[in-house]
A and B are shown apart, each in its own frame.
Chain A
Amino acid sequence: MSRGTGRKGFWELPGKNPALGAFLGTTLIVALYGLAGSSVLGAYLLADLSFLEGGDWKELGSKLLARYRVPILASTALFQFLFFGGMTYLLFRRWHAADLRERFRLRRPGAPSLILAVLGAAGLLPLALGAGELFMRAFPFLKELSAQSENLLEASGTGSWLLLVFSICLTPALCEEFLFRGYLQGSASLRLKGLLAWLLPGAYFALIHQNYFGLGALLVIGVYLAFLFEVTGSIFPGALVHFLYNGSIILLVNAESKPSWAYGSEGFVFPSLVLASLPLAVLAVGLLLALKARTKKAA
């Protein structure tokens, strides 16, 4: 017996909604990714419970991160490739069976698009950092927690730097962009038009991280990445910006001291810097839109 409606490209058939399929597929992939990650971490903890002995419970989190830093980073990268990369590919081939290069917009972008995307990101970075600090200003204990989790991002040597760049910068830039921009937004834009085509997938990207204290930063960066995918017509400018954004976080964590022109004595970004950098972002966004209009006109 054949599975008639379960055949290849099911979500592209008349009467089906490929955008719905992409939202459900993305949710499923991220849920399985989370499940696999938690299971591996749980198994690690169960295999070696000695860290519980004679410890201060307050420092347990940072102790755990320090102890399992390499396995956590390595398994995060591995699972991102397996789930966000491999599973997305298989699911897309099975459920959508459309032209992957076209849908995921695997096109070489022009140099102006790349330059403007990076300029826009530079203008938005202080806003993203400031938005991420909002809750820390209200709840000081979050700063302590954040400092504990920063153990994961601290580099101690060349090998450590390489692992960080690979697992925190390169892997998400490739795999998350493949899933959230390529698959989700590429399929969603078949049905969603106008602002919704990039606002909704961008917001979904932020929400799916389930980090409500950092939601502000995730929203800023998620919506900007989605905007780049929409306006440049290519997945690569977003991947580059994603790589640079994550890289800048690692650099800030590992800096001897935070730059005094950007950070106040309490360790928060100056609001004036946020305001001063916004025109750069607005200019880059405006130029990207103009570039898109010109390309469209020429076509």
Chain B
Amino acid sequence: MAVRRGTYKALGDYLNDTFSFVPRLWREGLAVGTASALPGAILWILSFKALSPLFDQLSEDFGEGMEGAARLFALLGTPAILWTAAAILQYLGASYQKAFMCLRAGSELERGSPRFLDLARAAFGRPILKVIVQDMLTGAVAAFLAMTVGGLVSLPLLVLGIGRLVREGDPSSLSTFLPLIWAYVLFILAALAASWYLKVRTGVSAPAAILEGRNSIEGIGRSVHLTARGFWRIFGSIFVVELVISFGLGILTGPITFGFALPGFLSFFRSSAGGGEPSLAALASLYSSLGWAIGIGLLLSAIVQGTLWPVFLTILYADLRTRSGEIQGLSLGCPEPRGARRLRSFLYGGRGSGGRASRFGDARRVRGRGMPAAGRR
């Protein structure tokens, strides 16, 4: 299919379309973001609060040898369990949010207006499983790739550094460690480059799997196929949008998390005023405040970033499909573009009258449960 002139997206379109989503769908984004991230955030707060008994015990058992140490380790159990549960819940919540927002942005692409509850229910099925599997797989591959590439690149300097350390044998001299420091820096840079490469190539796996009804692996393969051309353009878009979202998020949430951490800092520094050691109670209060700051920070970033990022990925996915000539461009958050009727006709088949199956697999299943066909509206 020939691609019409003027349908490709540039950086401004990505930003506009992603952020234009907010005023229209902020209620859904807020509800899903809060519901997804709140349980994990609460557990993070509780896990830090659970450190309090540890500090009490620490002051009692100080200097009591192995028995005291054993009692302290026993008290670490509750926070450790809570941390693990918080991390798992956070991961599941983020996956659900990603699945929901991909479905929601996909339905916008199709000019559909599904009921919120239908979509929320649909995201609980296959889409969330696909996201979980994909994120675990790409995470594992990214870690492996980063370690391998980083290791290979920094290996010569590492060998040189260790050789120098053994030969000179003066660990107090900085020059002995210089090659090792450089090896570490090189490792980080190479690992970053490798993980960014993978991030770009697998960037649109989630919308590809969810909206085309593919399984997780096929979704990753589809993303690799769609991003085969124009790597630097895609990298630039992802980098800039991520930079804007994360930096903007830091600006907005920074003072809030800072405010939550402040009481703990105040009590900690009051306790250590005059040059004395801070009391364990003050340390417990500091950890409790930090727990609140981390919990609230995670909640806010999940709501903002967890909503905007999948929307951006879906827009990118649609643009890549447009560029590969599969569909014609649609613009989220804009008035109906020229050629929308023809596009609907392409998506749903027939002459734009709707009623036939969508080419977006899971969206089709949602429509079967009450989502009106776009062409019928």
Contacts and interface: CB of A to CB of B under 8 A. Distances in A.
Interface in B229-257: 240, 243-244, 247-248, 250-252, 254-255
Interface in A49-78: 49-50, 52-53
Nearest to B261: A212
Contact of A6 (B13, B269, B334): B13
Nearest to B19: A20
Contacts of B16: 10-11, 16-17, 20-21
B247 A138 contact: no
B359 interface: no
Nearest to A52: B174
Interface in A1-32: 1-6, 10-11, 14-17, 20-21, 24, 27-28, 30-32
A110 B20 CA distance: 40
A208 B254 CA distance: 10
B265 to A, nearest CB: 7
Contacts of B273: 140
A138 B13 contact: no
B5 interface: yes
B312 to A, nearest CB: 12
Given A28-B244, A31-B243, A208 B251 contact: yes
Contacts of A11: 12, 16
A5 B252 CA distance: 29
B10 A3 contact: yes
Looking at chain A's contact residues, is the secondary structure mostly helix, strand, loop, or mixed? helix
Contact of B9 (A5, A28, A32, A140): A5
A204 interface: yes
A207 interface: yes
B174 A4 contact: no
A218 B16 CA distance: 29
B12 A5 contact: yes
B311 to A, nearest CB: 14
Given A15-B335, A24-B19, A212-B254, A31 B8 contact: no
Interface residues of A, number: 38
Interface in A159-210: 204, 207-208, 210
A227 interface: no
A4 B6 contact: yes
A24 B15 contact: yes
A4 B250 contact: no
A34 B118 CA distance: 43
B264 to A, nearest CB: 12
B182 to A, nearest CB: 8
Given A27-B244, A140-B273, A141-B269, A212 B258 contact: yes
Nearest to A141: B269
B5 A4 contact: yes
B185 interface: yes
Nearest to A5: B13
A210 B251 CA distance: 7
B174 A27 contact: no
Nearest to A14: B335
Given A5-B12, A24-B19, A49 B331 contact: no
Top 7 nearest A-B pairs (CB, nearest first) are A6-B10, A4-B6, A31-B247, A10-B12, A212-B258, A53-B174, A27-B248
26 contacts: A3-B8, A4-B5, A4-B7, A5-B13, A6-B8, A6-B11, A11-B12, A11-B16, A15-B334, A20-B16, A20-B19, A24-B19, A24-B248, A27-B248, A28-B244, A28-B247, A31-B247, A34-B247, A46-B181, A46-B182, A53-B173, A53-B174, A139-B266, A140-B273, A210-B250, A212-B255
Given A2-B5, A208-B251, 7 more contacts: A2-B6, A6-B13, A11-B16, A17-B20, A21-B16, A24-B244, A138-B266
